[in-house]
């Protein structure tokens, strides 16, 4: 398979404009060229990305899945061009980077790669709740922040760069019959009480899970809310059967002998990097590094 950069550029333009004529104007090419390149991309991938009718253009399910990755690929190419113009090892200063618990190995990889490509750049990690991270970026108390899941519609003062996705996993008693499976379907585990952090504590994660359950047609049986994750998992492992949901990276950092972590048929969660619109060499280096290690 050979996918060209131009094909991705044309696909993103059509996906965002939902109109071949406007996409062609945006790309400064003729409309037939847009149609031709999109058709070639569909043949390369073996899927239909866009539904075309006389009245409208809309993305297929495959098109919706491909769009975030295509944007990320185009951003990465842009950042590579920037890096080629400005050596990263000359970048200096300190970046204040907002984080949260559970980013795990990927954050370690980002920091390790930064120390190699920009050894003179200092990173100050600041752990804050989600809403405070966003506010701190807007108020320039942070230079950038990781958010998970990604923001659906960031305002015009913010830029968002999708950097990686990760699966969600079920945490259930290691002695439960479902723990013998490598992956679990929601319909198989839905009868067990589900324990999550209260929505007011972590609304974005709570909504991510409940929306996924709703789309799968699952009505969960709710257990007691979680106050402390480690304590709640210890209870699940030794008490009445129940289950919870964690990001896979968070699960990798936990070691609880009586708990089994198993993949779920929920959509993967998107992690993004949020910055103020417009940024200098240090932020560009951070963005490029995050995209490179994704």
- Tens digit of each residue's pLDDT (9 = 90 or more) over 182-195: 899 999 998 899 99
In this predicted structure, the answer to whether residue 275 has a pLDDT above a threshold of 80 is: yes
- Model pLDDT, residue 245: 94
User: Is the fold of 5-82 the same as that of 89-161+270-293?
Assistant: no
- Model pLDDT, residue 27: 85
In this predicted structure, the answer to whether residue 278 has a pLDDT above a threshold of 80 is: no
Give the contacts of 55 (CB within 8 A, at least 6 positions apart): none
CATH number given to 5-82: 1.10.10.10
- Tens digit of each residue's pLDDT (9 = 90 or more) over 9-60: 899 999 998 988 898 888 887 888 888 889 888 888 888 999 887 778 889 9
- Is 89-161+270-293 in CATH node 3.40.50.1820? no
- Model pLDDT, residue 192: 92
- Model pLDDT, residue 83: 61
- Model pLDDT, residue 194: 95
- Tens digit of each residue's pLDDT (9 = 90 or more) over 68-85: 888 888 887 777 666 655
My answer on whether omega of the bond before 24 falls inside 30° of 0, hence cis, is no
Q: Selecting from 3.20.20.100, 3.40.50.300, 3.40.50.10540, 3.40.190.290, what CATH number does the domain 168-267 have?
A: 3.40.190.290
Tell me how far the alpha carbon of residue 146 is from its chain's centroid. Answer: 10
If you average pLDDT over residues 115-140, what whole number do you get?
89
Instruction: Please name every residue paired with 122 in a beta bridge, in sequence order, or none if there are none.
Output: 94
Q: Is the dihedral of CA 293, 150, 186, 189 positive or negative?
A: positive
Q: pTM for the whole thing?
A: 0.65
Query: The tokens 């993103």 sit on which residue?
Result: 12
Domain map of the chain by residue range? 5-82, 89-161+270-293, 168-267
- Residues 130 and 206: their CA atoms lie apart, in Å, by 13
- Tens digit of each residue's pLDDT (9 = 90 or more) over 105-116: 888 888 998 888
């Amino acid at each position: 398979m050979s996918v060209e950069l131009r094909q991705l550029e044309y696909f993103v333009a059509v996906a965002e404009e939902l109109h071949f004529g406007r996409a062609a104007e945006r790309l400064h090419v003729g409309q037939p060229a847009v149609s031709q390149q999109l058709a070639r991309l569909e043949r390369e991938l073996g899927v239909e990305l866009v539904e075309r009718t006389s009245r409208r253009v809309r993305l297929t399910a495959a098109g919706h899945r491909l769009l975030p990755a295509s944007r990320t690929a185009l951003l990465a190419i842009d950042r590579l061009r920037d890096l080629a113009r400005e050596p990263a090892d000359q970048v200096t200063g300190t970046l204040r980077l907002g984080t949260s618990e559970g980013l795990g190995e990927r954050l370690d990889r980002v920091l390790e790669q930064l120390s190699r490509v920009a050894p003179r750049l200092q990173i100050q990690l600041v752990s804050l709740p989600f809403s405070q991270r966003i506010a701190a970026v807007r108020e320039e108390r942070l230079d950038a922040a990781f958010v998970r899941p990604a923001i659906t519609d960031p305002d015009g003062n913010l830029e968002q760069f999708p950097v990686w996705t990760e699966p969600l996993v079920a945490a259930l008693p290691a002695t439960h019959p479902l723990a013998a499976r490598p992956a679990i379907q929601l319909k198989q585990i839905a009868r067990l009480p589900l324990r999550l952090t209260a929505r007011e504590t972590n609304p974005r994660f709570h909504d991510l899970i409940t929306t996924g359950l709703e789309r799968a047609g699952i009505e969960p049986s709710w257990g007691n809310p979680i106050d402390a994750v480690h304590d709640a998992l210890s209870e699940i492992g030794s008490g009445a059967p129940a289950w919870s949901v964690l990001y896979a990276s968070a699960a990798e950092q936990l070691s609880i002998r009586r708990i089994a972590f198993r993949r779920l048929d929920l959509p993967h969660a998107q992690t993004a990097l949020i910055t103020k619109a417009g940024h200098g060499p240090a932020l560009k280096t951070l963005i490029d590094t995050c995209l490179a290690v994704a």
